[in-house]
């Protein structure tokens, strides 16, 4: 509410959000959300608020609330189910080389999701997964939660990149460097390539 203001510059009221979402998100729901009584809202609620206030749904999962980025994207997409299916295809079980099963993914969420939950989200039977469910799935596959959310047609994941991002240090480096200006990012890239070249160079 601080970042994405009403068109006239005021903070949105609960009643205005109720009206702007056509009652999908009621005034009382907004109140409970703001007071922390609801800590795991459904994705449809988050998407309705995002659309009404003018920001992309995946901003809910991003540090800095997207730095004021507007929705600015077509709403045609494969949705959570389509994106999740693509992740299943790309990120394979390193022990078997085969796609993970729903049961394996459920076990890897450490109780956050059951095998049935994974199946229902994957098939689209549950089109409104909660924040916790999206985050749990993203954590298993080593992708950002925002990837699983609507942002136009998703770009194909690079399998080598996905495997690299399973490493926590790589994710931290990527996240921190993405916040730097272009010039500083190029410097970081140059340093990384120097380390790579030194490692590849034959020892004398």
pTM of the model: 0.47
Question: What CA–CA distance (Å, rounded) separates 72 from 50?
Answer: 12
- Between 151 and 47, name the one with better pLDDT: 47
Kindly list the distances between the CA atom of residue 21 and the CA atoms of 16, 44, 195, in Å, as whole numbers in the listed order: 9, 11, 51
- CATH 1.10.260.40 describes domain 79-160: yes
Host H or E run for residue 52: helix 43-53
Report residue 71's pLDDT band, with 50, 70 and 90 as the boundaries. Answer: very low
Domain ranges for the chain, please list them. 14-66, 79-160, 167-200
- Helix and strand numbers (H, E) in the chain are 10, 0
| Residue 100 near residue 93, CB atoms below 8 Å | yes
Question: What CA–CA distance (Å, rounded) separates 71 from 69?
Answer: 7
- Chain segment 101-112, per-residue pLDDT in tens: 999 999 999 888
Is residue 147 over pLDDT 80? Answer: no
């Amino acid at each position: 509410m601080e970042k994405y203001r009403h068109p006239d510059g005021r903070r949105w009221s609960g009643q205005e959000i109720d009206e702007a979402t056509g009652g999908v998100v009621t005034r009382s729901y907004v109140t409970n959300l703001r007071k922390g009584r609801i800590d795991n809202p459904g994705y449809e609620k988050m998407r309705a608020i995002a659309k009404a206030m003018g920001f992309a749904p995946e901003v809910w999962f991003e540090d800095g609330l997207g730095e004021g980025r507007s929705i600015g994207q077509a709403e045609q997409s494969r949705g959570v189910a389509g994106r999740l299916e693509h992740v299943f295809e790309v990120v394979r079980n390193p022990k078997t080389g085969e796609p993970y099963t729903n049961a394996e993914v459920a076990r890897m969420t450490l109780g956050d999701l059951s095998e049935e939950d994974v199946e229902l989200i994957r098939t689209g039977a549950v089109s409104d997964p909660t924040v916790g469910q999206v985050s749990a799935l993203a954590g298993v596959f080593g992708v950002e939660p925002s990837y699983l959310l609507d942002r136009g047609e998703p770009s194909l994941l690079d399998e080598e990149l996905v495997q690299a991002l399973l490493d926590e240090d790589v994710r931290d480096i990527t996240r921190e460097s993405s916040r730097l200006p272009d010039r500083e990012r190029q410097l970081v890239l140059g340093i990384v390539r120097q380390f790579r070249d030194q490692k590849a160079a034959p020892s004398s």
